[in-house]
């Protein structure tokens, strides 16, 4: 089996040959990786991870057009992205983390929202995508269209969370306008990835907090679920066999039935500090797969290497040979994670016995 074939078989609950590994390193740990291994390779190549991302549709950036939305000024070194969201650098203690500023934070009516220069992905260049998919497939890897922060997060990054939540209750026309614009662009991007031949499309929005939902089930079903369905239906209309991953940090257990209804195939990250993977797998393991489950607030930074290996075995044992679990740390690995714990995770995955 190629890495791609192995990954897809595992996620579909079919016999597979090895437990794949996957994680993301912060910039400081990337430096540690190069120092510890002496390798010039990208760490995804070095650890033989089974997938690679395909670049999004390329559109021309014009950050200066958004400066008028920040009359209070921005810190030196601020990056403004395609959506007009400003990312201000933090202090030295913040490492790679930035502070977001919301371009429509001060907007007071629907006309101001309509005048905002949303990115137009339909006018962008996607010619690179089929070429990248072909190159990834020639390496025996799975091609991924990564478009997390699909609807809810991008919308509130533009408007501000408090403003958008207030709009959902008090100014529904304003909320609907932003959600619909973001959803339309998501559909264009998703269709482009699907037409390019990706194997996986990674959607997501953080809809949970550490121990509670970010919004009520009623609000989710009114505002987010129908729009998520539109995006997934767009993907399925091109290729019904694409695997659809969905990411949400935090406690999202009550939302799982809605995500299944929407059509997701794999849920990430099943944050171990607030979700019980054993219970969730027992209830939903026959319906969807899972990605993540190893805590990055607890296990990865603070456990011993032996405890990391024990955690890997325990979690893989829950899924058993049925697969449906792409075991990985739940989030980006930050500077406090010991290098030895990363190696322990990799070794435990590679040593895990499979019997079919």
Residue-wise pLDDT for 32-90, tens only, equals 999 999 999 999 999 999 999 999 999 999 999 999 999 999 999 999 999 999 999 98
Domain 3-62+107-351 grouped into CATH 3.30.565.10: no
- The Cα–Cα gap between 89 and 101 comes to 11
Q: How many CB atoms lie within 10 A of CB 149?
A: 18
Kindly report the pTM of this predicted structure.
0.96
Under the banding of pLDDT at 50, 70 and 90, the label for residue 322 is confident
Provide the sign of the torsion angle of the four alpha carbons 90, 94, 97, 100, taken in this order.
negative
> Taking residues 118-135, what's their average pLDDT?
98
Closest by CA to 299, choosing from 337, 332, 335, is: 337
Identify the burial level of 355 via C-beta atoms within 10 angstroms of its C-beta, where 0-12 means exposed, 13-18 middle and 19 or more buried. Answer: exposed
Looking at the chain, how many residues does it have? Answer: 356
Q: Where are the alpha helices (DSSP H) in 142-196?
A: 152-159, 161-170, 172-196
Three-state SS for 89?
strand
Q: Where are the alpha helices (DSSP H) in the chain?
A: 3-11, 27-37, 43-46, 110-114, 128-138, 152-159, 161-170, 172-196, 217-219, 225-238, 256-262, 277-284, 299-302, 305-319, 339-351
**Phi, psi angles (nearest 5°) of residue 168:** -60, -30
* pLDDT reading at 356 higher than 90: no
């Amino acid at each position: 089996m190629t890495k791609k074939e192995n990954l897809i078989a595992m996620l579909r609950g079919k016999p597979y040959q090895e437990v794949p590994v996957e994680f993301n390193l912060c910039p400081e740990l990337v430096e540690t990786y190069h120092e510890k291994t002496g390798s010039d390779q990208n760490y995804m190549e070095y650890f033989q991870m089974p997938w690679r991302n395909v670049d999004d549709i390329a559109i021309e950036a014009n950050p200066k057009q958004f400066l008028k939305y920040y009359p209070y000024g921005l810190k030196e070194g601020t990056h403004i992205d395609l959506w007009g969201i400003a990312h201000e650098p933090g202090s030295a203690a913040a490492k790679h983390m930035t502070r977001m500023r919301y371009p429509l934070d001060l907007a007071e009516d629907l006309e101001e929202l309509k005048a905002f220069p949303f990115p137009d992905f339909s006018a962008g260049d996607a010619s690179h995508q089929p070429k990248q998919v072909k190159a990834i497939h020639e390496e025996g890897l799975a091609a991924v269209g990564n478009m997390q922060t699909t609807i809810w997060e991008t919308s509130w990054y533009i408007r501000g969370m408090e403003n958008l939540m207030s709009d959902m209750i008090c100014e529904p026309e304003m909320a609907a306008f932003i959600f619909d614009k973001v959803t339309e662009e998501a559909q264009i991007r998703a269709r482009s990835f699907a037409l390019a031949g990706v194997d996986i499309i990674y959607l997501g929005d953080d809809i949970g907090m550490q121990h509670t939902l970010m919004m009520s089930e009623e609000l989710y079903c009114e505002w987010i679920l129908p729009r998520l369905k539109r995006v997934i239906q767009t993907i399925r209309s091109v290729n019904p066999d694409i695997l659809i991953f969905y990411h949400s940090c935090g406690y999202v257990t009550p939302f799982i039935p809605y995500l299944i209804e929407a059509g997701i195939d794999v849920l990430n990250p099943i944050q171990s500090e607030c979700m019980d993977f054993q219970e969730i797998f027992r209830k939903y393991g026959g319906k969807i797969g899972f990605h993540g489950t190893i805590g990055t607030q607890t296990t990865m930074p603070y456990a011993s290497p032996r405890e990391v290996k024990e955690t890997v075995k325990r979690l893989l044992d829950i899924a058993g040979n049925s697969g449906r679990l792409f075991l990985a740390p739940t989030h980006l690995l930050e500077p406090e994670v010991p290098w030895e714990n990363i190696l322990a995770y990799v070794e435990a995955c590679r040593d895990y016995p499979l019997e079919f």
